[in-house]
Amino acid sequence: MIFNIMDLTPEVNAIVFGWLDDTYEFNSLTFTSGSRFHNGKPEAIIGDTLARNLNKKVGDPLVMQGSTFTIAGIYHGGTALEAGAVILPLDQMQQLSSMQGKVSGVHVRLRPVPSGESQEHYFKRAQAAIEAVVPGLNAQLATDRATNNQFVDLAHAVAWGTSAIALIVGILGIANTMAMSVFERTREIGILRAIGWKSWRVMVLIETEATALGFAGGILGIGAGWAGLRVLSYLPKTNIFVSTSLTPVHLLQSMAISVICGILAGAYPAWRGAHLSPVEALRHD
């Protein structure tokens, strides 16, 4: 097989695969209209999201890099990537990519694990056998390829980097808000201390406010994030990369991170407020 990312229109790009017409990989696709292509013919099958974005149906032409393909089938993809992809006959894709006689990968389906052999041992044995056939070939399990993929790693790194920046900005924002709040309410804190509130109680009061800010920020952030995902899922340029599903684990993680950010951001203002001298605080204008 071959895969590449190509521009289909100025606004829409897609992952394009080249497959043989008898590959077992068709088994994972569900055709909503039409059927599979034939080797040697300028035909293509496309995912349902891409078909919707391009407003294409079976029989319509699909122009890629100056070559025209007839859409033979439209399939439903299980993932956003699949649903936004184009699949061509391998020979057509090799020609389109100037990779005649070459492939970027070979997908191999293993037989079930023989009884009496561990799955891990079986996989290692299969990897060694495949690598022995073509010297220099690197055989990887599909799951390893998905997780160790350079693009996936890069995407994860970008996502984590962006999230880290957002978290730092969020923490600084709450810390600034709480520092301002403590400053503006210095006299009130002085009053509380004068009438017997202990330092820790003032600290708890300020930390509670910071935590509430973090919690409210988490709810707003989840709402804004969900709305953003919905928007991205409708944009032709991004919808093949975006999934709108939010799992309870994601929601809980988001809320936990927001609340922890609130607690961290409130720590210094709370400490500062709690350790104000009552007399100095009461004199504050």
Partner 1 sequence: MTEAKTHPQLEVRSLRKSYDDGRIEALRGVDLTISAGDYVAISGASGSGKSTLLHLLGGLDVPSSGQVLFRGLSLTASDLDDYRARQIGFIFQAFYLLPTLSAIENVQVPMLALGENGHNRAQRAEELLVELGLSHRLKQYPNELSAGERQRVAIARSLANDPSILMADEPTGNLDSVNSARIMEILTGIQKKRGMTLIIVTHENDIANAAPRHIRIRDGRIEH
Q: Is residue 282 within the footprint of partner 1 (CB under 8 A)?
A: yes
Measured from the CB atom, the residue of 85 and 202 that comes closer to partner 1 is: 202
Output the CA–CA distances (angstroms, integers) from residue 35 to 57, 219, 280, in the order listed.
12, 45, 81
For the CB of residue 279, give the shortest distance to partner 1 in the complex, in Å.
5
Measured from the CB atom, the residue of 112 and 196 that comes closer to partner 1 is: 196
For the CB of residue 164, give the shortest distance to partner 1 in the complex, in Å.
36
Write the interaction track for partner 1 spanning residues 141-160; mark x where CB under 8 A is met and - where it is not: --------------------
Q: Is residue 208 within the footprint of partner 1 (CB under 8 A)?
A: no
Measured from the CB atom, the residue of 195 and 249 that comes closer to partner 1 is: 195
Exposure string of 218-254, with b = 16+ CB inside 10 Å and e = fewer, is: beebbeeeeeebeeebeebeebbebeeeeeeeeeeeb
β-pairing verdict for 30-34 and 13-19:
unpaired
Output the CA–CA distances (angstroms, integers) from residue 114 to 15, 62, 120, 124, 130, in the order listed.
36, 45, 12, 13, 17
For the CB of residue 171, give the shortest distance to partner 1 in the complex, in Å.
27
Q: How far apart are CA 162 and CA 257, in angstroms?
A: 15
Measured from the CB atom, the residue of 88 and 276 that comes closer to partner 1 is: 276
Measured from the CB atom, the residue of 41 and 187 that comes closer to partner 1 is: 187
Measured from the CB atom, the residue of 185 and 272 that comes closer to partner 1 is: 185
Q: How far apart are CA 214 and CA 17, in angstroms?
A: 44
- By CB under 8 A, the residues from 176 to 205 that bind partner 1 are 187-188, 190-199, 201
Of the residues 42, 173, 221, 278, which one makes contact with partner 1 according to CB under 8 A: 278
Residues that bind partner 1 (CB under 8 A): 187-188, 190-199, 201, 277-279, 282
